[in-house]
A and B are shown apart, each in its own frame.
Chain A
Amino acid sequence: MAASARASRIGLPPNVEELEYRRAATGELVSQAVFSALVVLLFFQVGVILFKVLEPLIRAAPGLLGSDLEIEETLTRAIASALTLLAPFVAYGTCGAKMRGLATFDRRRALRVALLAGALVYGIATMGQWVFQVGPFAEKPSLEMSFEQTADGVLITGIVEGGTADEAGLKVGDLIIAIGRAPTDLAGLKERIALSAFESKIGLRIVRDGEEELVPVEVVPVVEVGLAPLIGGLALALFIAGVAVVWPGGLTPYVLMVVIMVPLLIGYLWLVVASFSYRTEGLLPVGAAGEFGGFTLRNWEFLTREGTSSDPSIWRITLNTLVVASLMMVLVLLVSSMAGYALSRMNFPGRRSFLSLTLILHGFPAVTLLIAIFFVLRNIGKVPVVGDYFGFNTRGGIALVMVAFELPLGVWLMKGFFDNIPWDMERSALIDGASRWRTFWQILLPQIRPGILALGIFAFISGWGAYLIPQTYSIGTKTATLAVFISQRTNETAPMNWNELAAIGLFQMIPVFIIFVFAQEYLLNIYAGGTKGGT
């Protein structure tokens, strides 16, 4: 109303879109919104059906391959239930979003239409749930009786006539004290019932007239529809439809982004909380007595602990990590820049095949060679002198393997950097009589400093976090890197201290994260060049 008034005041013709909206009857708009919501619902349902069809196929899979083993399949079920949960809400949102155009001219009418459409879609979705007995209409395991907590036990306050509890011979006034031999309270009993399979039996130990008795009761499926979830659902549906009308579109990507990242954010939040607290329950820090709080620095005491020969101090392990990471950085840079230079600047027999080899190796998953490299390292270890530094269970050997794995990427990148540098400076240096090596070292390398920086940091980070190779090719803690040290601690038979591990984990992450923050822009480009081994 206001918009059109303003438009006529400043002498503009009313918007065509606006006219269309105004001409349309409310019923027409509602049916449009409901229709698009139903299309959305249907779309999701097709997904769910697809997954339901997939599940038995997946279960049968090893059978098709000639094995009588079964596969525990949970992923399809998880995806299907996530889709089912999500579908109605997306549909309610669609109802509202459909009215966003109208809202720019007449907000109240848009809101009215959206709410009406939302309510209609809610009705349809709920009817669907009723027909298929899902959502609030799902069958739940039940004993068909009601009970409440008293000081002595769980008192039965009501029994459905002809129900399973009635059949088992339970009476109002019986006192449940245990399930089988395990004493129970109201919460425990409810949880036990909720987790039971249909037609399984729960043995209730009851007290009747001062005598104990064990009564097995069958768990039966019952549909209990409370009014509260239905009304709550309707309110939520209307709320979503209403919000969708006025929702600023620009916020959607941010919200989606945060929602997608929830597991990550939760994980890292826990890591930080845990490292500064006595222990954690879920995300909450908890003190010794189980109360909220209990912040402490004791998890960080590992920083000052003295090392022994069997249990080296953290600084010794950090030194190991630093040596491996630095060695790796220097070697990757040196070796791949030399090879990159030769491949970029020189012509020699075998150049083409070496290049294609590099490229094939870049795609080739080197981790498949772990077993064979074990023997290579063992044999290098037999060579006098060299073996002491580069054999099995040495820092040098571990670094060499990791260098080799990063090499195809490094050579490829370095060649690219050199290709982009003009030839002029190098030519004048060569004409002046500089050797190839000197030209490379003094003229070319300084020109690709950003590339060297990026590849170097990349190599350092992957050396710092390396786990698989040090873990496979080292024994004990002599050459353990931080990552190996942490995983050894999680494998120990003694109960592990999660909070201390979280602190060590953070300690290990911090240097890398700082480097990463400062070198982000370079690094993202290198990561795009592809990492090996990992996913």
Chain B
Amino acid sequence: MAYATQTATARARSRSQAARARLTAYGFLAPAGVLVLFFFFIPMILILFLSITNLATINFTTDVLKMATSQDPRYIVWGANFERMFADEYAPKILFNTFFYVLFTLLLFNVGLGLVISLLTTHINRRAGFFFRALWILPRITSPAVYILMWKRIVASSPFGILNQFNELLGRPEANYFQEDPWVFIIMLNGFIGASFGMIIFTSAIESIPKDLLNASLVDGSSLLQRVRYVILPLLRWPLLFVITYQTLSLLTSFEYILLFNQGGAASNNEVWSLAAYNRALNTYFANAQWGYGSAFAVVLVVIGVVMATVYMRVFRFSELVAEPKIEVL
């Protein structure tokens, strides 16, 4: 009897202890939770909702709840935004631009150039390699506006443009790069930023390759190119996959440099999908902000983002990360 009461009180105590521990844990998590709630969850639901409204400058309101409950046909238009999007004469072009931009930037720069830089910098003097890699970080820490200023000056027309100055020295006619070859420079200026991501990942992967492997192939008389082809590259398969998936997602939604460079160009010539959403909804330059229509564009990306991020989480490090904590609560 006495024993039973004891265990009961002990159980009650341990239960209240567990409850308190749980409370502490939630306390620690609360700030992060609130931020995630306000800036990820609510916006995700909100953007789905906004995409079925025709909210624009002319009927602007911030009272989302009233808008939702009123069922007012002035606001709620259901699928009209999506119909309009599919019928948009520029949509096919924007879609193609997006694929084109992501594919070329990814292959030529984020993966290609990143791999080349990391291979080069790991095969030279260590300090020199470090120096070069540090230089490659510069575009990433330069403010976007200044970075674009630089590129605008590179492509500017004579007498200010740097490329055109070289043209003059070589006796070639002046070229209007900003108007004629915007894609070349948009891809380059984005690529020079993106390359450093791949560079860092690949460099640490190359440096973690056991020296024995390389030594063994050296003893077998391999040339540098052979070592790269048969030893290094096969071992880089996972980092490569990681960079490709992660950067595809980043590139799909990165538009700020195009926005700063030429706002997407005339007739949506250089507009990508994410920029299209931004231009329609938030770019006050056009004076008529169409939040509803812009949201429809953004929803497409949100869906792609959620799907790809989930896949990517399953493929990389998921099990490792959610493993039980090493230490149980006292």
Residues of A within 8 A of B (CB): 58, 61-62, 65-67, 69, 71-75, 78, 191, 194-195, 250, 253-254, 256-257, 260-261, 263-264, 266-268, 270-271, 274, 280-284, 334-336, 338-339, 341-349, 351-352, 354-357, 359-376, 378-380, 382, 400-401, 403-405, 407, 411-412, 415, 419, 423, 427, 430-431, 436-437, 440, 461, 465, 467-468, 472, 482-484, 486-487, 490, 498, 501-502, 504-506, 508-509, 512-513, 516-517, 520, 523-525, 527-528, 530-535
Please indicate the chain A residues that have their CB under 8 angstroms from the CB of B317 in the complex: 359
Q: How far is the CA of A164 from the CA of B200 in the complex (A)?
A: 59
Q: Does B197 contact A (CB under 8 A)?
A: yes
A270 contact from B62, B162, B168, B194, Cβ within 8 A:
B162
Beyond the given pairs A62-B92, A505-B146, A512-B141, 10 more chain A to chain B contacts, judged by CB atoms under 8 angstroms and listed by A's residue number, are A65-B96, A253-B123, A347-B25, A363-B308, A403-B35, A490-B260, A516-B141, A528-B201, A530-B246, A535-B197
Residues of A within 8 A of B291 (CB): 371, 374-375
Instruction: Check if A67 sits within 8 Å of B93, measured CB to CB.
Output: yes
Hey, which bits of chain B sit against chain A, CB under 8 A? 21-22, 24-26, 28-29, 31-33, 35-36, 38-40, 42-44, 46-47, 50, 62, 64, 89-93, 95-97, 100, 104-105, 110, 113, 116-117, 120-121, 123-124, 128, 130, 132-151, 153-154, 159-162, 164-166, 168, 173-174, 180-184, 187-188, 190-194, 196-197, 200-201, 204, 246-247, 249-257, 260, 267, 269, 274, 277-278, 281-282, 291, 294-295, 298, 301-302, 305-306, 308-310, 312-313, 317-318, 321-322, 324-330
The answer to whether B21 and A346 have CB atoms under 8 Å apart is yes
The answer to whether A509 touches B141 (Cβ under 8 A) is: yes
**Which residues of chain B are near A405, meaning CB under 8 Å?**
39
Judge whether A487 and B260 touch: CB under 8 Å: yes
Check B138 against A268 for contact (C-beta < 8 Å). Answer: yes
In the complex the two chains form, is B247's CB within 8 Å of A535's CB?
A: yes
Q: How far is the CA of A407 from the CA of B36 in the complex (A)?
A: 8
Among A66, A487, A533, contact of B254 (Cβ-Cβ < 8 Å): A533
The 10 closest A-B pairs by CB, nearest first: A282-B165, A505-B146, A363-B309, A65-B92, A404-B39, A372-B43, A365-B253, A339-B32, A342-B28, A535-B194
Cross-chain pairs A/B with CB under 8 angstroms, 22 sampled:
A58-B100, A61-B96, A72-B182, A194-B173, A195-B173, A346-B329, A356-B318, A359-B322, A360-B306, A363-B312, A364-B306, A367-B253, A370-B278, A371-B47, A371-B278, A371-B282, A376-B39, A436-B28, A467-B143, A508-B143, A516-B141, A535-B110
Residues of B within 8 A of A467 (CB): 143-145, 256, 260
Chain A residue contacts of B39, Cβ below 8 A:
366, 369, 373, 376, 400-401, 404-405
CA distance in complex: A268, B135 (Å):
11
Are A400 and B35 closer than 8 Å at their CB atoms? yes
Query: Distance in Å from the Cβ of A107 to the closest Cβ of chain B?
Result: 21
Is B294's CB under 8 angstroms from A69's CB?
no
Q: How far is the CA of A365 from the CA of B251 in the complex (A)?
A: 9
A486 touches B120 (CB 8 A): no
Q: How far is the CA of A280 from the CA of B152 in the complex (A)?
A: 13
Neighbouring A residues of B142 by C-beta, 8 Å: 465, 505, 509
CA distance A520 to B324 in the complex (A): 33
CA distance A346 to B28 in the complex (A): 10
Q: Report A-chain residues with C-beta under 8 Å of the C-beta of B133.
A: 524
The minimal Cβ–Cβ distance linking A83 to chain B, given in whole angstroms, is: 12
Nearest-CB residue, chain A, relative to B183: A75
Question: Are B138 and A264 interface neighbours, CB within 8 A?
Answer: yes
The residue from B46, B182, B200, B267 contacting A375, defined by CB atoms under 8 A apart: B46
Chain B residues whose CB sits within 8 angstroms of the CB of A513 once the complex forms:
138, 141
Shortest distance from the beta carbon of B260 to any chain A beta carbon, whole Å: 6
A361 B40 Cβ-Cβ under 8 A: yes
Taking CB atoms, residues of chain B closer than 8 Å to A61 are 92, 96, 100
Contact at B154–A270, with CB atoms within 8 Å? yes
What does DSSP make chain A's interface, helix, strand, loop or mixed? helix
Query: Among the listed A71, A261, A280, A517, which residue makes an inter-chain contact with B160, where contact means beta carbons less than 8 Å apart?
Result: A280
- Given A69-B92, A371-B291, A508-B143: A534 and B250 interface contact (C-beta under 8 Å): yes
| Contact (Cβ within 8 A) B159 A281 | yes
User: In whole angstroms, how far apart are the Cα atoms of A62 and B253 in the complex?
Assistant: 21
Cα distance A72–B268 in the bound complex, in angstroms: 11
Contact A372 B282 (CB under 8 A): no
Q: Which of B105, B117, B137, B324 contacts A260 (CB 8 A)?
A: B117
Contact A365 to B249, CB < 8 A, known contacts A66-B92, A71-B97, A191-B173: yes
Q: How far is the CB of A461 from chain B (nearest CB, A)?
A: 6
Report yes or no: B92 in contact with A465, Cβ–Cβ below 8 A.
no
Q: Is the CB of A253 within 8 A of B144?
A: no
Chain B residues with CB under 8 Å of A348's CB are: 21-22, 25-26
* Distance of A341 from chain B, by nearest CB (Å): 6
**A74 CA to B269 CA, complexed, in Å:** 11
User: Is the beta-carbon distance between B117 and A534 smaller than 8 angstroms?
Assistant: no
Q: Are A376 and B144 within 8 A (Cβ)?
A: no
| A509 contacts B89, C-beta separation under 8 Å | no
Q: Does B96 contact A535, Cβ atoms closer than 8 Å?
A: no
Write the nearest CB–CB distance from A319 to chain B, whole angstroms: 17
Query: Smallest CB-CB separation from A506: which chain B residue?
Result: B146
| B153 & A498 in contact (Cβ 8 Å cutoff) | yes
Contacts of A369 in B (CB 8 A): 39-40, 43-44, 47, 298, 302
Task: Give Cα A458–Cα B144 distance, bound, in whole angstroms.
Answer: 16
Q: Are B254 and A490 touching (Cβ within 8 A)?
A: no
Check B43 against A355 for contact (C-beta < 8 Å).
no
Q: What's the Cα separation between A346 and B23 when bound, in Å? A: 11
Q: How far is the CB of B196 from chain A (nearest CB, A)?
A: 7
Of chain A, the residue at the smallest CB distance from B188 is: A263
Query: Which residues on B sit within 8 Å (CB–CB) of A534?
Result: 140, 193, 250, 254, 256
Q: Which of B89, B105, B309, B328 has the most A CB atoms < 10 Å from its CB?
A: B309
Q: Are B32 and A535 in contact (CB under 8 A)?
A: no
Contact across chains for B35 and A407 when beta carbons are under 8 A apart:
yes
A139 to B216, CA, bound (A): 54
* B183 adjacent to A74 (CB under 8 Å): yes
Q: In the complex, are the beta carbons of B138 and A75 less than 8 A apart?
A: no
User: Could you tell me the distance in whole angstroms from the C-beta of B321 to the nearest C-beta in chain A?
Assistant: 6
How far apart sit A357 and B309, CA to CA, in the bound complex (Å)? 10
User: Closest chain A residue to B62 by CB distance?
Assistant: A378
| Distance of A254 Cα from B184 Cα, bound (Å) | 25
B120 with A256: CB separation less than 8 A: yes
Residue of B nearest to A380 (CB): B38
Minimum Cβ distance to chain A for residue B34 (Å)? 9
Is the beta-carbon distance between A69 and B267 smaller than 8 angstroms? yes
What is the CB-to-nearest-CB distance from B28 to chain A, in angstroms, rounded to a whole number?
A: 4
Q: Which of chain A's residues have a CB closer than 8 A to the CB of B110?
A: 535
Q: How far is the CA of A411 from the CA of B40 in the complex (A)?
A: 15
> Which residues of chain A have C-beta atoms less than 8 A from B190's C-beta?
535
> Taking the nearest CB of chain B, how far is it from the CB of A189, in angstroms?
12
Asked if A359 and B321 make an inter-chain contact with CB atoms under 8 angstroms apart, the answer reads: yes
A334 to B144: give the CA distance in the assembly, Å. Answer: 27
